Structures are given as structure tokens and as C-alpha cells.
Amino acid sequence: MGLVVQKYGGSSVADAEGIKRVAKRIVEAKQNGHQVVAVVSAMGDTTDELIDLAEQVSPMPAGRELDMLLTAGERISMALLAMAIKKLGHEAQSFTGSQAGVITDSVHNKARIIDVTPGRLKTSVDEGNIAIVAGFQGVSQDTKDITTLGRGGSDTTAVALAAALDADVCEIYTDVDGVFTADPRVVKKARKIDWISFEDMLELAASGSKVLLHRCVEYARRYNIPIHVRSSFSGLQGTWVSSEPIVQKTQAQGEKQVEQALISGVAHDTSEAKVTVVGVPDKPGEAASIFRTIADAELNIDMVVQNVSAASTGLTDISFTLPKTDGRKAIDALEKNKAGIGFDSLRYDDQIGKISLVGAGMKTNPGVTADFFGALSDAGVNIELISTSEIRISVVTRADDVPEAVRAVHSAFGLDSDSDEAVVYGGTGR
């Protein structure tokens, strides 16, 4: 019996009852002979509420102070959880990210973990304690300031600690029974996936399936840490995310290896906006100067398209997508460099959504792209941008069309389950 790292998301610790329920689960793991390190998120929608509060005080709050504020959310849950475990008669100690040895770079609001030195956690569990760690936070190696890892970052904390502590498994407890073929809040007939490869999970996460954060899956793949995504509200087996397929016991056949599905699922994302740079001279170096400006502002972009230039004017338009939360900064940076880049105007559209189909089977199956576009056309959905990778096709549409489009694609690829509807146990979906 080795060490397990368990992570409980905000919906699992949304109120005092939730915290007591989670405390019981953690104690059960300890009683089964494991050493346990539990990572917690802020209660319910606390992080969103703190961001709203900050924006009421200042529309563009300083990154350092926002991190100071947001990390308070996880401190509340870690202390309450430690209290609840002690009440059950077991020893527990809570640790901030900094105390747990989560060392990051100094980029506020989306810091990257650069080292983990979990000495205090190791000592604590070796002494027989359950260690509780505040997720989503760390400390900058250079500035010694408190940082946060970006929204959903507790998943990354958990996997980083699992790697540093050489844990057997990282369990991610959430408000659904695992990773499904689509978001169960949108597709009632979504199917639970028993096993999914790191590669397919990376694409789903990068395409907006927020059940696991992209960086967390990247980290797990790099250190080969198997992740078990499951519900903190039920006792069911969840989804294994790992490099090798799992072996399942079935009554009929004894043991069988779970096969990789051709198509893993459909992801959607309505958190991005589209910026269009209008009237860009159609000559070498223009795209470079636009995206250098964006990169210098430390902003990541997703999709890019350039229109065919109108021969009469020699001008073209370039559109790109990026998280809505970075929209303001991107517009400001481009406006500042308007003379240098030489464009006419900027357009900003935050009413877009992205739908992606993911599956390794696409590589060898030529009909997939046609079927995907066919399903969207049957649903009357207009496509604005397209991008593909070897195992993913994504389109941008109007945000309003997203739920219908996701359901249409899910059905068209035969992913609908014919048994139980997917259960959502908690959370507000915010």
C-alpha cells in the first residue's frame, strides 16, 4: 500500500456537509493502509466570486494582488478539511502551496510549476498525518511572491505532487463519474469512458473539456502518472487516463483489455473570443509583427486565419482566437502598436464557441472530416473558422449554436449511450 494523492474540486467541498463527506472518504483511504496527500480547491464558486469582487474594486486588478486574494479560497477549504478529519479521530495537517514546496515562475495568474520540494509533506505523512494541500497556488522562485496556476489549476497541483512524491496514482474527485464522451451537462446521453490515452485526453482538455486541465495531463504524461478521474459523490469506478490500456474484469470473458475508441469524444469551449485585425498590408512580416505584439504581452492564442487579400487594395484581414479573459489586454497591446503594424481597425467578438471532435482513429479514417461537417450542416450550424491536428478537428461557430452542434456531432458519430443518462452530482457548471 503506497502513497496516493487525491484531489477534490470545488463542487466536492461546496459546503460544510461536502467537507465532512470528503473527510470521510480520505479517512477510508488511510484506513485501507495508504498514506494520503489530499489537494483541495476553493469551496463551490468561491474563486469566481472573489474575481467578481476584485473587478468591482478595479476593472483590471494587479496580478500580484489578485493572486493574494484568490489563494485565500483554497486556504479556507484546506483548514476546514483538516478540522473535519481531526473530528473523525485522525491526524491531519494543512499546508499552503508554498509550504508544500510548489515552486513556480513569476507570471501572476497563470504561473508554471518549475520545481516541487515536498519535504514537509513527506515528513508529515511519515509521521502518520494526512496532509492537506491548498491547490492552484505556489510561490515564485525569483520574487518569493504568491502565485496562482490559472483557472482549474488544482488538477496540476495534484499531479505535480503525485510525481514529486512518487505516488502510485493521482485520483481526481469531481462532480461527475469520470470523463465522458461529451460534457454531461450538455449531452444527457454522454457515455463514460473507462480508459483514455494521455494523447486523446490532452486534446480533449485543450479543446475545453474542463473535467481535467490541459497542463495537468501534460504533466502526468511527462512523468507517467496514471490519473483516475471519479466522483466524490458515488463509489463507482471512474475513468483511467494513462499510457497503457487498463485490463477490466468482466463476468463473461474473465479479463479483457479495454480498447482505444476510434473517436474519444466531443469537446466544446465558450470561453474564447475572436479578434480580427482589419486592413493589414499583404506583405511579408505583417503576421509576425501582430503575433510578436501578442506574445510580448504574454498572451497565448489558439486559432489563426488570414483571409485572401483583395487584389484591388492589397489589404487582408487576420483573425485569431484567445481566452476572453485576455481579450482586453490583446486589444490594448495591438492598439498601442497600431502605427508600427499598420492596420485599419480591430474587431472583437466574444459571442463565439468552439466544437472539437477528438480521436486517434481519425488518422486512418478518411471519412471523419466529411461526417463532422455533415452533422453540423444537418443541424443548420454555420462554421466561421476551422483548425485541425492529426487527431482533432475544431470549428468556431456562434456561441448560441454550441449545445445543438455538440449533440448533433455526438449522435452522428454513434457516441450516444442507450442506457443510463450521465449523472451530474453537484456544481453549478460555472
Rounded Cα distance, 265 and 357, in Å: 6
Q: For the purposes of burial, counting CB atoms within 10 Å of the CB of 62, is it exposed (0-12), middle (13-18) or buried (19 or more)?
A: exposed
What distances in angstroms separate CA 295 from CA 26, 71, 286, 287, one per listed residue?
Answer: 43, 27, 14, 12
Q: List 316's β-bridge partners, or say none.
A: 280
Please identify, using beta-carbon distances, which residue of 97 and 353 lies nearer to ligand ASP: 97
Q: Which of 265, 323, 353, 359 lies at the binding interface for ligand ADP (CB under 6 A)? A: 265
Rounded Cα distance, 149 and 157, in Å: 8
Within 32-61, the residues that bind ligand ADP by CB under 6 A are 41
CB of 334 to ligand ADP, least distance (A): 31
Please identify, using beta-carbon distances, which residue of 152 and 208 lies nearer to Mg ion: 152
Residue 429 contact, options ligand ADP, Mg ion, ligand ASP, none, Cβ 5-8 Å cut-off depending on partner type: ligand ADP
Residues in contact with ligand ASP, shown as a per-residue x/- string from 28 to 47 under the rule CB under 6 A? -------------xx----x
Within 2-129, strands assigned E span: 3-8, 35-40, 92-95, 102-104, 113-116
Q: Which of 6, 10, 241, 303 lies at the binding interface for ligand ADP (CB under 6 A)? A: 10
CB of 296 to ligand ADP, least distance (A): 31
Rounded Cα distance, 206 and 393, in Å: 12
Is residue 119 a contact partner of residue 127, using CB atoms and an 8 Å limit? no
Interface residues with Mg ion (CB under 5 A) are 9, 152
Integer-rounded Cα radius of gyration of the chain = 23
Does residue number 426 form part of the binding site for ligand ASP (CB under 6 A)?
Answer: no
Residues in contact with ligand ASP, shown as a per-residue x/- string from 4 to 33 under the rule CB under 6 A? -----xx-----------------------
Q: Which three cell numbers stand for residue 195?
A: 480508459
Comparing CA positions, the residue from 265, 302, 316 lying closest to residue 385 is 302
Does residue number 73 form part of the binding site for ligand ASP (CB under 6 A)?
Answer: yes
3-class secondary-structure state, position 241: strand
Please identify, using beta-carbon distances, which residue of 153 and 359 lies nearer to ligand ASP: 153
Residues in contact with ligand ASP, shown as a per-residue x/- string from 144 to 163 under the rule CB under 6 A? -------xxxxx--------
Rounded Cα distance, 281 and 343, in Å: 7
CB of 426 to ligand ADP, least distance (A): 8
Please identify, using beta-carbon distances, which residue of 70 and 125 lies nearer to ligand ASP: 70
Give the DSSP per-residue string, 303-322.
-EEEPPPBTTTTEEEEEEEE
Residue 359 contact, options Mg ion, ligand ASP, ligand ADP, none, Cβ 5-8 Å cut-off depending on partner type: none
Residues in contact with ligand ADP, shown as a per-residue x/- string from 203 to 242 under the rule CB under 6 A? ------xxx-------------------------------
Please identify, using beta-carbon distances, which residue of 241 and 393 lies nearer to ligand ASP: 241
